[in-house]
Structure 1
Amino acid sequence: MQMGVGAQPVDVRSQPAAEARPDRNSGLDALRAVMTLLVLFHHTAITYGASGGWFYHEVTPNGSLSSHLLTMFVATNQAYFMGLFFLLAGYFTPAAFRTKGSWAYLRDRLLRLGVPLLLFGLVIGPLTVALAGLASGHAFWPTLLALWQRGRFIEGPLWFAEALLIFGVAAVPWLLLSQRSTAPQATAARFPSNTTLAILAVLTGAAAFVLRLWWPVGTSWHGLQFGYFASYVVLFAAGCLAARPRWLKRIPRRTARIWFGIALVSLPLLPLSAGVWPPGPTNSSDGGWTVPAAIYAFWEPLVAWGLILLLLVVFQRRYQHLVPRWQQLAARAYTIYIIHPPVLVGLALAWRNMTAPPLLKFAVTGIATCVACFLLAGLILRIPRIQKIL
């Protein structure tokens, strides 16, 4: 599973043109805030026994019930929540480009995405690695200094900022062409049909399967796991295309219900396939010409489409106005995402010698991390001018 799964920089101000859109969408603000907290629980699950890449593993995957449950939790998250962040980022990109212009848009992306990426890669990432090393008996300061001396750049969860920066730059030619287009505003365009969504899911699954022949799940290049990028590219592009007709605000409830039903039916197929084809060198689901790899590749978009559509409908219906606490969480979400790795690792280390069931530790550490990051983010955002970046 991909480290960072979020995450994303998820504060509304970190998304392209959150500040540029005329009508604030409280439902999407709330959804991004909740998904940010889910990122924290996602990494907590890996800490206590789920499969996946993370800085610190107190419990390694061991075939126990708790390990299986946490792995399924992580796999389900991975199927949709980073894709959801890319969808939302793409949705706000055209408005940012129109409002700022090309050069100001690019400067804004470098500031809001590039600066946090550098900060994490050079400071927070090495600090987290050194902190995690305490569990193996490595001294903190010598480890940190060694990482700096070797020039280690650790993307960690900020791979998302790196990817979004690439996507944002790559989208500029299309944005320039669409800006010059004389086509009428397609605000009345119909939402894509179920057939279109199904074809898109199949094509996304096929692309993921092919990508994983070269880049199996778990392999990365500068923090980017290309095996997951089929859905990321598709959903970012879909977000850009959905901006003009505002499709995310006009999702038919029937469509959301149908695809959520498909997601529910699809969810058990992954663990069932593992029972039929036990994991091993010839049955890897991470990539290759194997049945489990094909099932995993096509399973992801079926689950993703259903959960994403349902969440978009539910949150926009439920959160039409945000109370102050929700507004605070939305404003701090990006900062929470950036700072959560050392906070989570530190809290997990603080009670690693206490005996408790992994699921209990998962719940307690996850909640404590959310609270600690929320409070710490509030303090950080009081620093003068920091809000121009965060």
Structure 2
Amino acid sequence: MVRLNYLDNLKVALTFLVIFHHAGQAYGDGGEWGYTPSNPAEVMPWIWHFFSTNAAFFMGLYFFISGYFIPGSYDRQGFGTFVRKKILRLGVPLLLMGGLLTSATGKVEIAHMWFVESLLIFSFFYAVVRKRCPAISKDCDSRPTLIGLFIAALVMGIGSYFIRQESPQDHWISLSIWTFEPAHYLQYVMMFVLGILAYRFDWLDKMTKTTGVVALLIGGALAIGNYVRQDGEWNDFVWQWFGIYESLMCVFISFGLLWLFREKVNMGNKALSWLSAQSYGAYIVHLPLMICIQNMFDGVWMGAFGKFMFVGVVSTVLSFAFTWLLRLLPGVKRVL
């Protein structure tokens, strides 16, 4: 297989973004978090813009990239090997980290591992479907177009709009061991499926410069529109239709970034390969490491923004380094 360096590099960038997103949650209204600063001055009221824009696309893009690699993996391995490897790669970290977080909190808790759990469910579902149905033929001239992206975003947005009438954003549901946020779940399912189709129809190679550039510009404009909204008519409009607005951000930012990384960040070297190899493990281990760092430096005044950046940088470095050390242990590379 040809290594797609730009997808590896994009996954690394998304991992950095996830870690910094979580680093900011203690210093703004980012939902329930396992640490609260003892100094009430360590707060950044503006950071909700950062949270809102990130949440619009970054986990959806994670699911897209994961979905992209699923069909080829199944084609090479077959049902049995595919399922066993997904249990090892996804199920084992889920059980270990879930057990650690549950022991630490005294209640059943998987926190950020909801992504791994959902990806495991999606992978099993794909395997069951493929066992009964043949693979989609690649004999199709389909390619990403701006109209196609808009239609996908509109379907996602209308569905999300109605889901949010019953289950607003940041409302999480736990059904036995399945934890999910209904407001974003349609986005995740659709992006995973789009990733599968992108592999089958070779969409990433077929995406034209015009489609990529315009998608990036539209996504960037929507992100700016989300950052600048405060109180007023624009904020009221975006908030009323946020399920649709966010879905447009998701699709256009995601495909814009896929094109940008394909054209401008499609390189490989030892440093980038090292980062890519550790990125999955860094996602898994970063949260407990981060909370330890936040508690250790709780009494050190750096200003709210300074503390946010400090925690983000240190957590990122330690997460990647700790993953590298773990992967030196026999057998760990098969999991992480």
Q: TM-score, normalised by structure 2?
A: 0.90
The equivalent of 1:320 in structure 2 is 266
| Match 2:92 to one of 115, 124, 127 | 115
Alpha-carbon shift at residue 110 of structure 1 (Å): 1.3
* 1:180-207 C-alpha deviation (Å, 9 max, x unpaired): 66x4x33x62313211211111111111
Range with bigger deviation, 242-251 or 344-353:
242-251
Letter in 2 for 1:232: Y
Q: After TM superposition, give the deviation of residue 61 of structure 1 in Å.
A: 10
Do 1:82 and 1:232's aligned partners in 2 also have CA atoms closer than 8 Å?
yes
Q: Unpaired runs of 5+ in structure 2?
A: none
- AA in 1 matched with 2:134: Q
Kindly indicate whether the alpha-carbon contact (under 8 Å) linking 1:50 and 1:60 is maintained by their aligned counterparts in 2. Answer: no
Distance (Å, rounded) in 2 between the aligned partners of 1:180 and 1:324: 35
Any stretches of 5+ residues in structure 1 without a counterpart? 1-21, 130-146, 284-290
Q: Quick check: 157-166 or 312-321, which moved more?
A: 312-321
Q: Kindly indicate whether residue 21 of structure 2 is the aligned counterpart of residue 42 of structure 1.
A: yes
**Are the counterparts in 1 of residues 86 and 120 from structure 2 also a CA contact under 8 Å?**
yes
**Partner SS state of residue 134, structure 2:** helix
| Correspondence for 1:297 | 243
* 2:139 maps to 1:157: no
Aligned position for 2:318: 372
The corresponding residue for 1:97 is 74
Q: Deviations over 1:95-129 (max 9, x none)?
A: 111111112211111111111111111114543x4
CA change 1:179–1:23 in 2 (3 A) is farther
TM superposition shift of 1:51: 2.4
Alignment match of 1:259 (pick from 187, 192, 215): 215
Backbone CA RMSD of aligned residues: 2.5
Output the amino acid matched with 1:241.
L
The equivalent position to 2:277 in structure 1, one of 324, 331, 336, is 331
Check the 8 A contact 1:114/1:162 in 2, yes or no.
yes
Name the SS of the counterpart of 1:382 in structure 2. coil
Render the CA deviation track for 1:31-65: whole Å, top value 9, x for unaligned: 10111111110001112224233322328999x7x
Tell me by how many angstroms 1:178 deviates. 5.1
Cα shift at 1:368: 0.8
User: 2:64 is matched with which residue?
Assistant: 87
Q: 1:117 to 1:364 in 2, by over 3 A?
A: same
Task: Select the structure that is richer in helix.
Answer: 2
Equivalent in 232, 236, 252 of residue 188 of structure 2: 232
SS in 2 for 1:54: coil
How big is each residue's C-alpha offset from its partner over 1:323-375, in whole Å with a ceiling of 9 and x where there is no partner?
A: 11111111111111111111111111122112232111111111111111121
Cα 1:363/1:376, change in 2 over 3 Å = same
**1:261-302 Cα shifts (integer Å, max 9, x gaps):** 2223323444666512799xxx8xxxxxxx665421111122
Q: Deviations over 1:151-178 (max 9, x none)?
A: x321111100111111112223443455
Aligned residues: 332
Contact 1:89 1:236 in 2 (8 A): yes
